[in-house]
Structure 1
Amino acid sequence: MDDRSRSVLVLTNPLDVTADAVLRVLAERRVPVVRLDPGTDLHTGASLTATYRTGDQRGTLRTAGRDLDLTAVRSIWVRRASPYEGPPDLDGQDRRFAASQALWGAGGILASLPAAHYVNHPWANRAAEHKPAQLAAAQSLGFLVPETVITNNPDEAREFVATHTNGTVYKPLWNTAYAVDGRPHAVWVREVDPVDINDAVSVCPHLFQEKVPKGFDVRVTAVGDRLFGVRIDSPDLDWRRRQDQMTCTPIDVPGSVARSVAAYIRQLRLVYGAFDFAVTDSGNWYFLECNPNGQWAWQPAETTDAIAHALADQLQKGRDA
């Protein structure tokens, strides 16, 4: 097969401007791309078919613009696709049934193309999104990790917070959609005192972590074996809260941290990862988390452009290069 005919399949929503940065690079290189939002497009005219038999697997994605032979997909970029929620004209259990069938059917097809290079594989993404798994991997691979407890026991939480006299923070285990008076409400990382701990902790697991006496934050974006470090100076404990107040400058990644990042990527079977660190004035880099599908286009222009090209390189080379 002519390699120039092998398409890159991008799974994302139509408003994903971050994906656009990479698609522009692929367009300049004349790499064919098909963009699909399976959670919605399969309700609006697109169709997906897969067949399996002894010694053979085939599939076709049909969109308004083209028919794509799934055996000719060189790479799949799993970006920010809409959730599988079922056709909007269905209600109740019928919609829930359709949504689950789409998740396990279409999602399963798109996760099982044997010739494709995944960035990242959706199952690897899901496994790596769990904060307990992140912390377990980080502490086993040589990162400095702040002392952390995850518990639904108010007494255990209160004792943990009380014993860390330099401060403790709370952070959600997942960025669950939340609303107050009908308006979206973000749950930021915040400091907690023992008096803040009450029986509401018993409702679900909570993550409490010792406060790192940081001088600044760092985001390290890993794409394959390439690392892009950015120092973040912010007046806030959680720099995401007011990004207009922060400043970002490129920073070199220490060799010991780079080696641990490479080991983490290998262990969790990722191609891409967005690592967050708190760095002390003495130069200690503390691992906070790794988002396997984190945003990156907010960084300085030269860093954003370099990441876009690194992702395009991964998608263009495919699985066997």
Structure 2
Amino acid sequence: MNEHYELDDTTIASSNHSSNSPVEGKGEEFHSYTWTITPEQAKERLDKRVHESLSMDISRTQIQMWIKDGHVLVNGAAVKSNYKCAAGDIVELTMPEPESVDIVAENIPLDVYYEDSDVIVINKPRGLVVHPAPGHTSGTVVNALMYHCKDLSGINGELRPGIVHRIDKDTSGLLMAAKNDKAHVSLAEQLKAHTVLRKYIALVHGNIPHDQGTIEAPIGRDEQDRKMYTVTERNSKHAVTHFKVLERFGDATLVELQLETGRTHQIRVHMKYIGHPLVGDPMYSRGTRGLKMNGQALHAQTLGFVHPTSGETLQFQAPLPNDMEELLKSIRNR
């Protein structure tokens, strides 16, 4: 059986709907971008429009700083972040050179699945934070990569060199990072175009009755708790997750999930939305009794992309971590 979940909670037949929306325009060099505002984009805030149009994982706060410093022009003139775009406006972004990185390289072991002069793919263990943040400046994947690689991309500024996409601290699995700016842009644009293959394995509470389906519901910050995300139409982004049931245990279901988009906490939010939160999720499975795990039972098992230089399609698969395997073994032996 197929199931398609939408925001209004109406059930319709599953489809192959896709929402590819490539960047409207791009300059000749990786650090220069030019867009023409369409009638549909008119009246949007400038910072929001630039954030939506960029392929790279750059925060809206960073974009606001660039606008303030004059790195973003509208029709050749500097404006404020809250400038309301008009149809036909020419928006130009010239990224400043990345600042010197003041991150301590740390000899943290990495499970490297692939590495060359352009890209590195690692299998991240559960509990390891991907990038430094205020209050958490050491012991991260970036600290480890700084030690291991010496030559990471600096396109994301000083706190997240090389990081093209993220997985949560308590999610294990495959993660790619760029080792130069050309590779960074190529990988980021593949993510933007939804051509990167990302499949996850998760154990969720409850019995999902449908063999496969699609969850299509926009995700934004939870206005009651800013650390969390939720399905909402307010200040949200389009989000699509495809799922397939692998095994049922009565009070739990093992599923394969494929991301079409990559919003923060997307799988965790979407599974909670359809009534099947992830086992062990400390944020979205609160109050759920029964099966437990130290961190959500979510593993980024499969990662596939086109190599930035050779054009070869690469695909990698990482086995489930021991804690998930042990949990599944105990469930099967009940």
Structure with the bigger RCO (C-alpha within 8 Å, sep 6+) is 1
Q: Between Structure 1 and Structure 2, whose CA radius of gyration is higher?
A: 1
* More helix by percentage: 1
> Would you say same fold, with TM above 0.5?
no
